[in-house]
Chain A
């Protein structure tokens, strides 16, 4: 994959799915990434898996990302793999923080089951159509989206003898 190959793929996606589907492409440090509009994620992935001349049949990873302070803040990345051509392609979408929704791709790639649940758990991105959209890593009743950048890291300060009177322990 090189920059021109990436542009050709993006062009084919635009032609097949729609002009608004592809927002940008980037080929930085041999990492090919195509930006997708959130509503078009399912269509684009379906096209790339089934109908493209160079299909990408396997989804390796779905993960979220928080681009604070850039807006729109939340991002979801899809990493596609083609075993025939031994090549990888990354897709990313950007969502705002208020009410982020994305169509689920579990019908195309069953591997996205746990991974979309993790993106929901960690970032709050709701995948419409997922059969089991609940928290996977945190306890079921946890409040908050831990891996967002404005979520505090948690933990507590280290106790030394000079400050141990300031931070009472649980039995005090």
Chain B
């Protein structure tokens, strides 16, 4: 969105505004006045700008990360209202953003999927915390190993639990994504090719950490 700055100090601008309201500006003065206050943008950009500044999160919390999410929403110190996401809706049909805060157990996964399906487009998902992103420390039978196994996730916020500031940073990244400017991944940003891990040596002794595969 481009915009020309409005010239002059406050008193000058006030006088010009008064003149405009009285209908005293004409010709080139009027043209300049209008041009200074016009915004040129694409409809898509304006729509995205409106969308990103008025996200309606779904009031949904699973476990410990939910406490930090409630701290983000409810605490006066770091609050979500300044990002426009103050209106928490508890019904998925009126919500935009599903913040998966907490560990997703196998009993809960179909319910979350149903909630996600009930949300209307456009909708976004933030996987908050290590457990929602990738099961965190719980590599066991009861936790779905990452929420992206059954639903698309837009932003992953790591941490156990992530600080409220980290969640807000994740929401800001989501806002960037909504605007159409997603951040590049770190490999592209730092041109970090050739840093992939090499094939591991097979362990030479018994007793290495063995994680059973799909047990």
Contacts and interface: CB of A to CB of B under 8 A. Distances in A.
Interface stretch (A53-61, A105-113, A147-155): A147-155
B214 A156 contact: yes
Interface in B188-202: 196-200
B149 to A, nearest CB: 6
Number of contact residues on B: which range applies? 20 to 34
Interface string A130-172: 0000000011000000100001111111101111000100100
Contacts of B141: 146, 151-155
Nearest to A169: B149
B213 A167 contact: yes
B139 A153 contact: yes
Contacts of A153: 139-141, 212, 215
B140 A154 contact: yes
B133 interface: no
A79 B148 CA distance: 42
A170 B149 contact: yes
B67 to A, nearest CB: 21
Interface of B: 106-107, 135, 138-143, 145, 149, 196-200, 211-215
5 nearest CB pairs, A to B: A154-B141, A155-B139, A152-B215, A161-B196, A162-B197
23 contacts: A138-B107, A139-B106, A146-B141, A153-B139, A153-B140, A154-B141, A154-B212, A155-B135, A155-B138, A155-B139, A155-B140, A155-B141, A156-B139, A156-B145, A158-B139, A158-B211, A160-B197, A161-B196, A162-B196, A162-B197, A162-B199, A163-B200, A167-B213
